[in-house]
Amino acid sequence: MRTPAGKECKYYYEDFHRGRSKQECRLLNASGEGSKWHPDDCSNCPVPEILLANACEHMELSARIVPGFIWIPRKVEVTAYCNEHDLDVQDPYVGCQHCGGRGAEILRAIQEGDL
């Protein structure tokens, strides 16, 4: 679904049908921070770019709101975990190094007609 910031995000949900007015971030909901979320947070959130850069099905994202302070803007901070290899993912844009290796193998097999 397209966020208020105009980017696709699978965690964004809205419902304005039949008088309803519901907007939520289901990633922050899952992290227990849903009540802190505001639609403006989507404009300063890295998740849409992370999802574009790395669609690994084993990577699970978590997010929290980091409050702003004077000149430092409020932001959504994201961490990632690989459920397949049980490790913290250092760079969610790149993904788990083990899954990345296997993804490259699968891609090569598809290109070579083995899959």
> CA-to-CA distance for 99 and 111, rounded, in angstroms?
18
Which residues contact residue 10 at a Cβ distance below 8 angstroms, ignoring those fewer than 6 apart? 1, 51
Region binding Zn ion by CB under 5 A among candidate stretches 23-31, 47-55, 61-69, 97-105: 97-105
The size of the interface with ligand SF4 (CB under 6 A), counted in residues, is 13
Which among Zn ion, ligand SF4, none contacts residue 84 (Cβ within 5 to 8 A by kind)? Zn ion
Q: Does 61 bind Zn ion (CB under 5 A)?
A: no
Strands in the chain per DSSP E: 12-15, 22-25, 59-66, 75-82, 87-89
Tell me the C-alpha distance between 3 and 23, whole Å.
9
Residues 23-82 that bind ligand SF4 (CB under 6 A): 25, 27-28, 41-42, 45, 47-48, 76
Contact residues toward ligand SF4 (CB under 6 A) are 3, 9, 11-12, 25, 27-28, 41-42, 45, 47-48, 76
